[in-house]
Every structure is written in C-alpha cells, then in structure tokens.
Amino acid sequence: MTGKNPRTEPDEPGKPGPEPGAPFTPVEEVIFRRRSVRFYRKSQVPEHLVRRVLEAGRFAPSAGNAQPWRFVVIQDPAMIEEMTRDVIAVCRRVMRMADYTEPGMQRKESVAKALQRILPNMFHPIPLAAMKLISQGKLGVWHGAPTVIALLVDGRAPGKPFLDIGIAGQNMVLAAHSLGLGTCWVSFIAPLAMMPKWKKRLGIRHPYKLATSIALGYPRGEPDGMVSRETRAVDWHGEDGKRRVVT
C-alpha cells in the first residue's frame, strides 16, 4: 500500500480542485455531519472497527513526528461503570463546595467565582453546569458507550503535546463517524488522574499524563447531521497587502 506518488514536473501547476460551489467531498461530509453522540446502543464495537479507528489516530500529524500519544481502550463495562461512579463522586464534592444555584446557597457564589478565576477552563460555567447534571445523574459521563478510549500524552514530547493528542483524537473521531459509529469527547475523565487507583489501572505515570477520553459506540437513532452555527470573523491578509475581515 505504501509507495511513491506519480512523478510530477517541479513547475507543473497543482490540480485546480473543485469549482466554486461544488458538492462537499466525503471527508467534508463527515466533518460537517459529525455530532457528539450521547445515546448509544448496548452492542459492543467489534475489535476490527476499534482498531481501524485507532489506526486513524496513529497516522495523525505531530510535532517533530514524535507521536506523543498512548491510547487505552476500555471495553469492560464494570470498569467503565466504576470510572463513572468515581467521576460522579468528584462532581458531587465540587458541587457541595460551589453550587450556588440551590435555594439559600448564594454564599457559595464567591467560592465558585474564585474557582472560575483561578481555573477558568475547568470551572467555566458550562462544565460547572454539567457537573451539577452529572452529580444529579441527569447527564451521563460516557453516556452508556460500550467502548471508551482514554488518551494519554507523553509529557516529554516537542512543542505542544496536548495539541498533538487533540489532532490524533479528531482523526479517530472522524474515522469513527465515517464508519457509522458515534463518538463523544469526554474530558470529565480528568479527575481520575488524581486517584492512585486509576493512575495505576490506566497507566498514568511519568512520562504519561491523562489528556482526555473519547466515548465510542453505535448510536441510537441518527444523531449525525448538519446544523447551523455562528459564523466566525477571520482576518485575511491578502496578496494586495491589505487586511480584510471575512465571516
């Protein structure tokens, strides 16, 4: 399968690519249709499909081709359940400290805001609201997915190894959706990295750090599809030396 590309002359113009307005390519279709899946069938993902997904991760670009990832596949339902229980327990503890939305608990608002200032990503209002739902059992952690892939990162790698993990993970996610599977990025696995039990079981030990996880399974219903989302302003420094903003 590996081998040389056909020979091209050095000055040959590149392929023109599709005309303006041409239909989406299969890759674009998968990118645009991918939605996070939070409702899975119980049936397990067969090993060959999981391996196919991992293979897409293996061929992700990384700084200096260091490939600073280690993937941990978890298909043991008892283990996923135990992980879920421990994440819920942590969410409950945080909520006892910082849930100011319960009646009569306004005094906790200062705790929440201090946490948000110190760790704005972890205690951003969205994960904070999610922690409340998780602690109440209204939001799953891995949403009943039969397979979880934990993504570990080699902390010694060049550049920004966590970024490389994101790239490898998204390769796997897109491959999975193209195979008819569903995925959801689940970073609520993070608290497990603080527990000796999970450090041992997941192999989180120098040089590895726990980065995030991906839930994988067959979706119930058809969750993938295109939706609207806000356009983003992009600065464009043109060939004419002028800057414009496109959306």
Partner 1 sequence: MEHLTWKDRRHIESFLRIGRDVVLGRVCIDGEKCSGCGFCTRACPAGALELADRKARMAEGNALCFSCGDCVAICPEGAIDLEAYLQFRHFFRYLDRGEAQPPRRF
Q: Is 32 in the site for partner 1 (CB under 8 A)?
A: yes
Which part of the chain contacts partner 1 (CB under 8 A), choosing from 18-26, 69-77, 85-93, 200-208? 18-26
Q: Which residue has the tokens 């993504």?
A: 151
- What 8-state DSSP symbol labels residue 226? -
Q: Is 129 in the site for partner 1 (CB under 8 A)?
A: yes
Q: Residue 210: helix, strand or coil by DSSP? A: strand
From the list 196, 207, 121, the residue with the least C-alpha distance to 161 is 207
Q: Is 230 in the site for partner 1 (CB under 8 A)?
A: yes
Closer CB to partner 1, 139 or 195, in the complex: 139
Measured between alpha carbons, how far is 204 from 113 in angstroms, rounded to an integer? 30
Is residue 204 within 8 Å of residue 190, measured between CB atoms? no
Q: Is 116 in the site for partner 1 (CB under 8 A)?
A: yes
Q: Is 17 in the site for partner 1 (CB under 8 A)?
A: no
From the list 161, 212, 226, 233, the residue with the least C-alpha distance to 24 is 226
Question: Cα torsion at 200, 206, 211, 212 (round to 10°)?
Answer: -10
Q: Considering the complex, what minimum distance in angstroms separates the CB of residue 114 from partner 1?
A: 9
- What 8-state DSSP symbol labels residue 121? T
Q: Is 124 in the site for partner 1 (CB under 8 A)?
A: yes
Q: Is 247 in the site for partner 1 (CB under 8 A)?
A: yes
Q: Is 36 in the site for partner 1 (CB under 8 A)?
A: yes
Pairing mode, if any, of strands 182-186 and 69-74? unpaired
Closer CB to partner 1, 36 or 75, in the complex: 36
| Interface mask toward partner 1 for 140-169; x: CB under 8 A | ------------------------------
From the list 179, 175, 140, the residue with the least C-alpha distance to 39 is 140
User: Which two structure tokens, joined as six digits, stand for 191?
Assistant: 């608290």
Largest CA distance in the chain: 74
Query: Which of residues 4, 48, 117, 206 is near partner 1 by CB under 8 A?
Result: 117
Closer CB to partner 1, 8 or 136, in the complex: 136
Is residue 224 within 8 Å of residue 172, measured between CB atoms? no
Q: How far is CA 35 from CA 31, 204, 211, in A?
A: 9, 29, 21
Residues binding partner 1: number (CB under 8 A): 45
Query: Which of residues 42, 85, 113, 200 is near partner 1 by CB under 8 A?
Result: 113
Query: Which of residues 3, 14, 16, 23 is near partner 1 by CB under 8 A?
Result: 23
Q: Is 187 in the site for partner 1 (CB under 8 A)?
A: no
Closer CB to partner 1, 35 or 201, in the complex: 35
**Amino acid in the structure at residue 28:** E
Binding site for partner 1 (CB under 8 A): 20-24, 28, 32-33, 35-39, 100-101, 106, 109, 113, 116-117, 120, 124-126, 129-130, 133, 138-139, 220-233, 235, 247
